[in-house]
Amino acid sequence: MVKERKRKGKTSALRRQREGNSSMTPPSIESAEYSRPRKRKKAADETPRKRIMVPQMSGASASCQDRIRTKRRRKSKTTKEAEESSPLAKKKKGLMQWVLTKEPPSSLDISSASSFSPIPPNDCEEPPKRKNMKMEEERVHSQRAEFQEKYIELHQLGDGGFGSVFAGYRVEGKLPVAIKHIPKDNVVIKHKDENGRELPMEVAVMLEMGNLSSALWQSAFVTLLDWYDLDEHLIIVMERPMPSDNLSDYLMEHNGCLKDKEAKIILKQLVEAALYLQNANIFHRDIKVENILIETTAEGLQVYLIDFGLSCFDDRRKHELLCGTPEHLPLDWFMHKNYCAEPTTAWQLGVVLFEVVHMTRFNTHSFLSKKLKISKKLSKNCQDVLSKCLRVDPKDRPTLEQLLSHPWFL
């Protein structure tokens, strides 16, 4: 009991001493009451403070704020005037006026305003390349539609190294036609007309032949009716004599060769056709049995020379471009790597006659090496024509006029 009274007395004394010294010295840092200070109570009418920008503080000078605003306005105005006065800005402004009004200024250079790309109006012109492609597509589509509307294509008649030929007929009048398809990659010989237009040589030659109206032309050559320049190939439409056969097929139907009389009729007409071409300054370059049509009529046999795919306009010069059937080339090509029109034509007419009267195909190397020989069973005049046309030296071959006046044809 005594100890408890003493402890209480000490506690009371310490409390009185602490209360008396509170206004003089702060409590020690170890004091528990000081380690957690009390929060300040807010008054009921107190408004909470907000964080604000420095220029908005009530303590900032009004004159300072005015200077800042004025400086910013001046800088903005100067920058805007400089941008508006620049050439690029003027062009942008002019281009925007064009977009809004669809009436571009005449002096506006649209291509230089590369950083400004508005959506062009609907009536703006297309780029030249795209415009040309579109025009080409429309042209090809129009030509194909015209061909399909005018002609009906039937079965295939033949297939060569340069194209394929199909039978057909023209819708109007049911006229029989031959339709030749030639891949453009195979059109290696071209010709520029007087207007500078580039044409396939076969078309150019047949158009020229059509301008030379004569009775011989109408009887010795087929007529060019139409031609179409499509995307990947060329279509040539020609009149087709009916009934007619290729001379190669005609020979097969007649046991592989013809009698002297029929051979003379065919070769005379070929010489006349070749002379007509020569006078028209045209060199066929590939006369052979596959390029000859035989029409059987009431008056007799009618010959047509066809396929001018390797032909050219001749100016009596030496030709260095190898054209024709390799097995039929004359010796002068192998010796000099060139050839002339008239003696080459005479040689090719001799090759045709040889195959017509012999049951064998002609080959230049075999003939020059004496493996192929002219038959002694033929008439003397026929043998003479063959021997003169197939002479080795081109200077020794007859001209077409001399050949036509040969006694065999009289």
Domain co-membership, 232 together with 355: no
State the residue range of the domain holding 381: 242-410
pLDDT digit string (tens) for 8-46?
455 555 555 554 444 444 444 344 343 444 444 444 444
- Average pLDDT rounded to a whole number, residues 107-127: 48
Domain of 203: which CATH number? 3.30.200.20
288 in any annotated domain: yes
Least confident of 188-202, 231-245, 246-260, 337-351: 188-202
Domain co-membership, 408 together with 273: yes
Give the per-residue pLDDT at 12. Answer: 54
Question: What percentage of residues in the chain have a pLDDT greater than 90?
Answer: 48
Give the per-residue pLDDT at 356. Answer: 97
d(CA 288, CA 356): 10
CA 48 to chain centroid, in Å, comes to 80
6 in any annotated domain: no
Of the candidates 240, 272, 289, which is a domain's last residue? Answer: 240
Domain co-membership, 247 together with 367: yes
Domain co-membership, 185 together with 303: no
Q: What is the DSSP string of 292-357?
A: EEEEEETTEEEEEE---TT-EE--SPPB-S--S-GGG--HHHHHHS-B-HHHHHHHHHHHHHHHHH
Give the per-residue pLDDT at 218. Answer: 72
Domain co-membership, 218 together with 334: no
Look at residue 236 and tell me whether its pLDDT is greater than 50. yes
184 in any annotated domain: yes
Domain co-membership, 165 together with 310: no
Q: What is the DSSP string of 348-391?
A: HHHHHHHHHHSSS---HHHHHTTSS---TTS-HHHHHHHHHHT-
327 in any annotated domain: yes
> First vs last Cα of the chain: how many Å apart?
177
142 in any annotated domain: yes
Give the per-residue pLDDT at 103. Answer: 45
102 in any annotated domain: no
Look at residue 96 and tell me whether its pLDDT is greater than 60. no
Give the per-residue pLDDT at 135. Answer: 86
pTM of the model: 0.67
Domain of 350: which CATH number? 1.10.510.10
Look at residue 100 and tell me whether its pLDDT is greater than 70. no
- Average pLDDT rounded to a whole number, residues 123-136: 72
Question: What is the token pair recorded at 366?
Answer: 């075999």
**Residue among 349, 375, 378, 362 nearest 269 (CA):** 349
pLDDT digit string (tens) for 296-333?
988 899 999 999 989 999 878 888 888 889 999 998 88
Question: What is the token pair recorded at 189?
Answer: 């010989």
Of the candidates 240, 260, 285, which is a domain's last residue? Answer: 240
Long-range contacts of 172-179 (CB under 8 A, 24+ apart): 175/239, 176/239, 176/240, 176/242, 177/151, 177/225, 177/237, 177/238, 177/239, 177/240, 178/222, 178/237, 178/238, 178/239, 178/240, 179/151, 179/153, 179/235, 179/236, 179/237
Q: What angle do CA 204, 205, 207 make, to 5 degrees?
A: 65
Domain co-membership, 222 together with 263: no
Domain co-membership, 246 together with 235: no
Torsions phi, psi of 337, nearest 5?
60, 30
Total count of domains within the chain:
2
pLDDT digit string (tens) for 40-74?
444 444 444 444 343 343 344 444 455 545 555 55
User: What secondary structure letter does DSSP report for 57?
Assistant: S
Higher-confidence residue: 4 or 327? 327
Domain co-membership, 346 together with 401: yes
Higher-confidence residue: 240 or 75? 240
What confidence category does residue 203 fall into, taking pLDDT thresholds of 50, 70 and 90? very high
Look at residue 80 and tell me whether its pLDDT is greater than 90. no
Domain co-membership, 311 together with 219: no
112 in any annotated domain: no
Of the candidates 240, 273, 300, which is a domain's last residue? Answer: 240
What confidence category does residue 163 fall into, taking pLDDT thresholds of 50, 70 and 90? confident
Higher-confidence residue: 184 or 264? 264
48 in any annotated domain: no
Averaged confidence pLDDT in the chain: 78
Look at residue 223 and tell me whether its pLDDT is greater than 50. yes
Domain co-membership, 232 together with 273: no
Domain co-membership, 398 together with 269: yes
Residue type, 290: E
Give the per-residue pLDDT at 107. Answer: 40
Look at residue 78 and tell me whether its pLDDT is greater than 60. no
